[in-house]
Amino acid sequence: MTDAQSAVVPPPRKVRPPPRPVIVEAVERVTPGVVRVTFTGDNLASFAQSKPGAHMKLFFAPEDATWPPARDAPRPPSRTYTPRRFDAARSQLEVEFVLHGDGLASRWSERARVGDRMLLNGPGGGYQIPGEARRLVIVADETSMPAAGMVVEALPQACRVEIFCEIDNKAEERTLSPLVASAPTWLHRAPDRAKPGSLLETALEGLTDLTPDTYFWIACEAGAMRRIRDFLTVRRGIDRARLHSRGYWKFGEFNYPDHDYGND
Ligand SMILES: Cc1cc2nc3c(=O)[nH]c(=O)nc-3n(C[C@H](O)[C@H](O)[C@H](O)COP(=O)(O)OP(=O)(O)OC[C@H]3O[C@@H](n4cnc5c(N)ncnc54)[C@H](O)[C@@H]3O)c2cc1C
């Protein structure tokens, strides 16, 4: 093959399996601002392989929608969520939705009822806890607490954990994991109307003893995530390889990209 021929060969297309239909089996208000929805359906077995902090896509399609969408129909909007817990025996998948107000997914979850339909795919991604980590600092807000709970459950014994969770107020404190004891430092925005992520930034500035075996798992508002990452790498000189950082949502942007690792 000549250079000219090889230049026009397109890369193989990644074929994504179609979203799977599921049904809402249970809805539970965990805190005033968080709803846990349990989905059930066939074909959920792959969620048994979810890595800690894995993600999935939920597709908000009309009740009578079919997949794939009809030729001229737009692809239904989707949002990224965490497959918090999967019970293989019952084929139940739990997702915890933050009720933040004006958002497609937030509004859907506020109104979710048993029997409602949803389309989803996944799981994908997730965090591989580095074998040499002896201390993991978890930096989370209410949207990443489900993922943080999965990370805590996967921690090896040799690794101690320190958790910072920023939430609106005391009523939003919730158990990170029913399986593993954890004692997060709760940071409440409400008293000072703090900007999302700002209390996490301040908390991280106070951290000491950042030995080379200290690693960081950071997931929160995208702007705050970048400032925290820059503080740790630029001001504290921490190798980026010790950080797993991710923007879970961004001020003023809907359907914020789910692949924001803060690399720019
Ligand atoms: C890998 C990954 C896993 C995630 N897992 C979860 C999860 O398990 N549970 C969960 O609740 N969220 C999770 N999120 C975050 C969720 O995808 C976003 O919050 C998403 O924007 C919600 O969609 P929406 O339709 O409600 O709002 P959108 O339509 O996307 O946004 C509408 C408006 O609301 C604002 N907004 C979005 N989220 C918030 C928020 N939390 N607080 C305040 N304002 C907000 C936006 O800036 C925008 O102005 C995850 C994100 C990622 C990338």
* Residue 187: per-residue pLDDT: 98
Q: How far apart are the first and last CA of the chain?
A: 37
Distance 93 CA to ligand 1 centre (A): 19
Q: What is the mean pLDDT of residues 198-206?
A: 97
Mean pLDDT, range 180-184, rounded to an integer: 95
Mean pLDDT score of the chain, rounded to an integer? 92
Listing DSSP states for the chain in one string gives --HHHHHTPPPPPPPPPPPEEEEEEEEEEEETTEEEEEEE-TT-GGGGGPPTT-EEEEE---TT--SSPPTTSPPPPEEEE---EEETTTTEEEEEEE--SSSHHHHHHHH--TT-EEEEEEEE------TT-SEEEEEEETTTHHHHHHHHHH--TT-EEEEEEEESSGGG---S-SSS----EEEESGGGTPPTTHHHHHHHHT-----TTEEEEEEEEHHHHHHHHHIIIIIS---GGGEEEEEEEBTTBSS--TT--S--
Checking if the pLDDT of 24 tops 70, the result is yes
Do the domains at 20-124 and 135-249 have one common CATH topology?
no
pTM, full prediction? 0.93
**pLDDT score of 63:** 77
Q: What is the CATH number of domain 135-249?
A: 3.40.50.80
Main-chain dihedrals φ then ψ at residue 92, nearest 5 degrees = -115, 135
Quick one: three-class SS letters along 48-71?
HHCCCCCEEEEECCCCCCCCCCCC
Q: What is the CATH number of domain 20-124?
A: 2.40.30.10
> Where are the domains positioned within the chain?
20-124, 135-249
Q: Each residue of 125-159: pLDDT tens digit?
A: 999 999 999 999 999 999 999 999 999 999 999 99
Q: How far is the CA of 197 from the centre of ligand 1 (A)?
A: 14
pLDDT of residue 168: 98
Ligand 1 centre distance from Cα of residue 57 (Å): 12
pLDDT of 65 strictly over 90: no
Task: Give 134's contacts (C-beta < 8 A, 6+ positions apart).
Answer: 158, 159, 160, 211, 213, 214
Atom 45 in ligand 1: which residue has the minimum CA distance?
100
Q: With 60 as the cut, is the pLDDT of residue 98 above it?
A: yes
Enumerate residues lining ligand 1, CB below 6 A: 55, 79-82, 96-98, 100, 102-106, 143, 146-147, 248-256, 258
**pLDDT at res. 191:** 92
